[in-house]
């Protein structure tokens, strides 16, 4: 080999390069929330039942997930899971909807009554979907009751943290003075139960009775009646005229009116894609087609929940027991609202012994 030529340099000696290792799946941090939602929440969102009722259905063995019956609500499910109730597939969740309902005196706010009394659900129009009540009114109370097909909405509006003001026209027996209601404005404790402060205004005296306007932000059982009894007055009529921004308006006992999609979305902060589809023509309990569709064009959204309920018409119940709205004055509706805002046509509830 010629002296000027050099050999090809040899490969450097050393350790071979390490082989690439496959990536390990990132472990979920301890305590991370499981995927999906609780089964009772999913059933409630689908309009099958309230969360409490859904938990009862699960305990009764009526609910199956992926072909296996479950007996505990402590289970999260996702869209991939197959859920069935009594052997039938779970219907897809409908878009959230809400209705205003004038509950008449004499109806029970319950799905069923152990004493066999008529419930509000017995008197609702037949073509109504399955709905739940937001809160309740007792047997002898009347006025605005919100209905929804969405368990999430029901739960949200019933939570004390939501803080929506509920206004009532209340008739009591006696001749009270304004200072008599000071304990209610400060907050009461009755039999160990704390009642939050109420707003109370003395509107007028009508013979042996007095009309009041009462506002509160919680929904304890018979709260107003119990509070009035505690200061020495008995309630002989109680009418709810507003719940947050929603007003009783011109509804008559037993009538139902659906809210426009935009109103529900704006007031509850729902995403736009959850907008309620256009409503269909309705029929009354007799099965005949109704003349008007449920949704009339509406005005601007209601804005923030505020303001007093509508005056005369909103506070006037039917009957010959006196006019609770005569001296209440015409209060403005919820801020930003217009009278034509509720888009649903009024719908009679059919036969109603109290109308």
In this predicted model, what pLDDT tens digit does every residue of 211-244 receive, in sequence order?
999 999 987 889 999 999 999 999 999 999 999 9
Q: What whole-number distance in Å separates Cα of residue 67 and Cα of residue 44?
A: 20
Mean local confidence (pLDDT), 159-172: 90
Tell whether pTM > 0.75: no
Predicted confidence band of residue 40 (pLDDT cuts 50, 70, 90): confident
* β-bridge pairing 88-89 and 83-85: antiparallel
Domain ranges of the chain: 37-89, 98-347
How many residues does this entry show for the chain?
355
Homologous superfamily (CATH) for 37-89: RNA-binding S4 domain (3.10.290.10)
**What is the pLDDT confidence band of residue 98, given thresholds at 50, 70 and 90?**
very high
Average pLDDT over residues 29-51: 74
Q: Residue 114 contacts by C-beta under 8 Å, 6 or more apart in sequence? A: none
The number of beta carbons lying within 10 Å of the beta carbon of residue 134 is 22
Do β-strands 234-243 and 142-148 pair in parallel, antiparallel, or remain unpaired?
Answer: parallel
Q: Is 138 noted as a catalytic residue in this protein?
A: yes
Task: For residue 84, count CB atoms less than 10 angstroms from its CB and return exposed for 0-12, middle for 13-18, buried for 19 or more.
Answer: middle
Average per-residue pLDDT for the chain: 75
pLDDT at residue number 301:
41
pLDDT the model gives residue 306: 41
CATH number at 98-347: 3.30.2350.10
Selected catalytic residue, list 138, 150, 230, 340:
138
Tell whether the model's pLDDT for residue 71 goes beyond 60.
yes
């Amino acid at each position: 080999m010629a002296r000027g030529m050099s050999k090809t340099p040899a490969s450097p000696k050393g350790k071979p390069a390490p082989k690439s290792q496959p990536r390990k799946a990132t472990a979920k941090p301890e305590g991370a929330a499981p995927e999906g939602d609780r089964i009772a929440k999913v059933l409630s969102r689908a309009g099958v039942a309230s969360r409490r009722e859904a938990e009862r259905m699960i305990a009764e063995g009526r609910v199956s997930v992926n072909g296996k019956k479950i007996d505990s609500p402590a289970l999260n499910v996702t869209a991939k899971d197959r859920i069935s109730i009594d052997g039938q597939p779970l219907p897809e969740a409908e878009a959230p909807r809400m209705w205003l309902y004038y509950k008449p005196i004499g109806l029970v706010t319950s799905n069923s009554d152990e004493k066999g009394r008529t419930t509000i659900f017995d008197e609702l129009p037949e073509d109504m979907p399955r709905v739940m009540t937001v809160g309740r009114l007792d047997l002898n109370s009347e006025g605005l009751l919100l209905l929804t097909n969405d368990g999430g909405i029901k739960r949200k509006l019933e939570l004390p943290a939501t803080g929506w003001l509920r206004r009532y026209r209340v008739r009591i027996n006696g001749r009270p003075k304004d200072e008599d209601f000071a304990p209610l404005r400060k907050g009461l404790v009755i039999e160990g139960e704390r009642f939050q402060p109420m707003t109370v205004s003395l509107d007028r005296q009508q013979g042996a009775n007095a009309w009041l306007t009462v506002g509160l932000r919680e929904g304890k059982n018979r709260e107003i009646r119990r509070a009035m009894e505690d200061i020495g007055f008995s309630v002989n009529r109680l009418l709810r005229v507003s719940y947050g921004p929603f007003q009783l308006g011109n509804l008559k006992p037993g009538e139902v009116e659906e809210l426009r999609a935009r109103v529900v979305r704006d007031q509850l902060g729902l995403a736009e894609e959850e907008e309620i589809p256009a409503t269909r023509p309705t029929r009354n309990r007799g099965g005949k087609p109704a003349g008007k569709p449920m949704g009339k064009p509406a005005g601007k959204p209601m804005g923030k929940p505020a303001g007093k309920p509508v005056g005369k018409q909103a506070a006037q119940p039917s009957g010959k027991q006196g006019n609770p709205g005569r001296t209440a004055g015409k209060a403005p509706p919820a801020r930003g609202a217009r009278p034509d805002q509720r888009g649903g046509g009024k719908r009679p509830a059919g036969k109603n012994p109290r109308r």
